Amino acid sequence: MNALERLQDWYVTQCDGVWERDRGITVETLDNPGWKVVVDLTGTDLENVSFEEFVVERLGDDWVHARVADTGETAVRRRFEVFCGPGSLAEAVEIFLDWAAEAQEGL
């Protein structure tokens, strides 16, 4: 199963009639160039799971930075954020999915 199929499966398991209404997953492009993927963890089993910041810098446009961050002005929302070079989107998604799978095994 590829990264996109795995992400689809993870998303479907989160959909409970509430989570998907105001939370979810976004994929955007960056202007440097690259990708940004944000997964809202609030309301999921991953909400309180720790993640050690991940940074890899290879050559030129080949890089990945991943972290869990708290955001929100009125309410704290926890989210997984990964930023990467233009050719590293699948790797970035896999970093999230591998962490999510490992965390699920520990729950």
pLDDT band at 82 (very low <50, low <70, confident <90, very high): very high
Segment (H or E) for 89: helix 89-106
Q: Which residue range(s) make up the domain with 79?
A: 3-106
Closest by Cα among 43, 45, 9, 7 to 26: 7
Tokens of 61: 């446009």
pLDDT band at 76 (very low <50, low <70, confident <90, very high): confident
Burial class of residue 57, CB neighbours in 10 A (0-12, 13-18, 19+): exposed
Beta strands in 1-107 (DSSP E): 25-30, 34-40, 54-57, 63-71, 77-84
Q: What is the pTM of this model?
A: 0.91
What integer pLDDT is reported at residue 105 of this predicted model? 82
Type of residue found at 9 = D
Tell me how many domains the chain contains.
1
pLDDT digits (tens, 9 = 90+) for 10-39: 999 999 998 999 899 999 999 999 999 999
